[in-house]
């Protein structure tokens, strides 16, 4: 791992077992992060398997370019959003891939860098953008939304029942000029709903999750990625999707079930083994789902049968 950019990859062995990378194959890593999954696929597909790896975070891209330099031409690292995967693959000279891995969400380096503003446990600006080169920060988004729109965001993306009171509290802090940092947001939520005695979970947890998802349009990105899977996979190509919360897993599950051009390989999601959960706390909420591209010759028949 690069200094200062350490991310422990989740469910790597399970992903490799499903992908079965082979020499000569072409693979996509839609969420490069620290580069662990990409490196594992490159190692498993030596001597000449290739990976096109994408991340919207310029820092992840820069770090991975250094970390993966040893693989030379076998890896292309691109800055971009995975909703744009077909165009990114084309830019890298490929129209389809033999396999794809997407490990959705934020990386440890993003969470751990206070300046990124993702974590309420660290003092930082209210930013939360994965791509720091564009888009609105969390503070700008809060300032733009009405109180009821903010409550809707907190309810939908945080599954937070007390969203109205929280939105009111945040709005009040903003208007009083007391909303600039992660700590200001945490305190605004705490003032609005209190902290149940003995509760280990900070009452701002769901609000932070909701704002992060909204700032990065995470669910729309995931839907767009799912929508292009059948187009970018070769016949019998495999997609492996790892997600970390129920909103994401629901999208993956429903999409895979409803896409006749994909054959679901995981009736139930795979979860990390006991040892991995013990070694890496952050892996505990991971769910892995996989699907195989139905050969194109069968597309019409499959669609007709499902109509
Ligand atoms: C959990 S980390 C991936 C870790 C990686 N699999 C590894 O082994 O190190 C998720 C990464 O996906 C990136 N990401 C999230 N949403 C994205 C999107 N819509 N487009 C491109 N990258 C995205 C984040 O910036 C983050 O670096």
pLDDT tens sequence across 107-131: 999 999 999 999 999 999 999 999 9
Judgement on whether residues 238 and 204 belong to the same structural domain of the protein: no
Q: Determine the average pLDDT of the residues in 183-187.
A: 97
Query: 100: domain range?
Result: 12-108+218-306
Summary mean pLDDT of the chain? 95
Cβ contact 93:69 at 8 Å: no
CA of 137 to the centre of ligand 1 (A): 18
Judgement on whether residues 16 and 103 belong to the same structural domain of the protein: yes
Judgement on whether residues 204 and 278 belong to the same structural domain of the protein: no
- Please write the tens of the pLDDT for every residue from 205-254: 999 999 999 999 999 999 999 999 999 999 999 999 999 999 999 999 99
269 within domain boundaries: yes
CA of 104 to the centre of ligand 1 (A): 6
127 within domain boundaries: no
Cβ contact 212:128 at 8 Å: yes
245 within domain boundaries: yes
DSSP state, 203?
T
- Which residue has a Cα nearest atom 1 of ligand 1? 107
Judgement on whether residues 225 and 281 belong to the same structural domain of the protein: yes
Single residue among 215, 248, 265 that ends a domain in this structure: 215
Count of domains forming the chain = 2
263 within domain boundaries: yes
Judgement on whether residues 229 and 85 belong to the same structural domain of the protein: yes
| Angle of helix 218-232 versus helix 246-258 axis, rounded to 10 | 30
CA of 206 to the centre of ligand 1 (A): 20
- Please write the tens of the pLDDT for every residue from 259-303: 999 999 999 999 999 999 999 998 999 999 999 999 999 887 766
DSSP state, 125?
B
Judgement on whether residues 199 and 260 belong to the same structural domain of the protein: no
Judgement on whether residues 297 and 230 belong to the same structural domain of the protein: yes
271 within domain boundaries: yes
Judgement on whether residues 136 and 66 belong to the same structural domain of the protein: no
276 against 200, higher pLDDT: 276
Single residue among 149, 181, 215 that ends a domain in this structure: 215
Judgement on whether residues 288 and 245 belong to the same structural domain of the protein: yes
Single residue among 148, 182, 215 that ends a domain in this structure: 215
Q: Could you identify the atom of ligand 1 that is nearest to the CA of residue 12?
A: 8
The helix or strand, by DSSP H or E, that contains position 273, with its residue range, turns out to be none
Which CATH number do you get for residue 27? 3.40.50.150
Judgement on whether residues 199 and 239 belong to the same structural domain of the protein: no
- Please write the tens of the pLDDT for every residue from 88-99: 999 999 999 999
Judgement on whether residues 140 and 209 belong to the same structural domain of the protein: yes
- For residue 270, give Cα distances in angstroms to 61, 256, 279, 285: 28, 15, 17, 11
- Which of 27, 33, 80 gets mutated to test ligand 1 (max ligand atoms within 8 A of its CB)? 33
Q: How far apart are CA 138 and CA 58, in angstroms?
A: 18
Cβ contact 126:52 at 8 Å: no
Percent of the chain surpassing pLDDT 70: 96
- Name residues contacting ligand 1 (CB within 6 A): 7, 9, 31, 33-37, 54-57, 60, 81-82, 103, 105-107, 130, 221
258 within domain boundaries: yes
Number of neighbours of residue 217 by Cβ within 10 angstroms: 14
- Please write the tens of the pLDDT for every residue from 154-169: 999 999 999 999 999 9
Judgement on whether residues 205 and 223 belong to the same structural domain of the protein: no
């Amino acid at each position: 791992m690069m200094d200062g950019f350490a991310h422990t990859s989740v469910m790597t062995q399970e992903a490799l077992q499903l992908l079965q990378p082979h020499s000569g194959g072409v693979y996509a890593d839609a969420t490069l992060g620290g580069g662990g999954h990409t490196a594992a696929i490159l190692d498993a597909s030596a001597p000449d398997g290739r990976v096109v790896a994408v991340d919207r975070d310029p820092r992840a891209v820069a770090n991975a370019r250094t970390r993966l330099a040893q693989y030379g031409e076998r890896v292309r690292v691109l800055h971009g959003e995975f909703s744009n995967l077909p165009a990114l693959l084309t830019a890298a000279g490929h129209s389809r891939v033999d396999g794809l891995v997407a490990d959705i969400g934020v990386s440890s380096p993003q969470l751990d860098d206070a300046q990124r503003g993702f974590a309420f446990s660290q003092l930082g600006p209210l930013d939360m953008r994965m791509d720091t080169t564009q888009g609105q920060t969390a503070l700008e988004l809060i300032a733009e939304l009405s109180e009821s729109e903010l409550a809707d965001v907190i309810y939908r993306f945080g599954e937070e029942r007390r969203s109205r009171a929280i939105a009111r509290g945040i709005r009040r802090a903003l208007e009083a000029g007391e909303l600039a940092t992660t700590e200001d947001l945490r305190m605004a939520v705490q003032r609005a709903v209190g902290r149940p005695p003995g509760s280990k979970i900070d009452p701002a947890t769901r609000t932070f999750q909701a704002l992060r998802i909204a700032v990065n349009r995470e669910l729309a990105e995931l839907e767009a990625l799912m929508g292009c899977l059948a187009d970018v996979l070769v016949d019998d190509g495999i997609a492996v999707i790892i997600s970390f919360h129920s909103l994401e897993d629901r999208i993956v599950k429903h999409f895979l079930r409803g896409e006749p051009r994909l054959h679901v390989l995981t009736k139930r999601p795979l979860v990390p083994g006991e040892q991995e959960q013990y070694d890496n706390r952050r892996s505990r909420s991971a769910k892995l789902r996989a699907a195989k591209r139905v050969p194109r010759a069968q597309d019409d028949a499959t669609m007709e049968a499902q109509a």
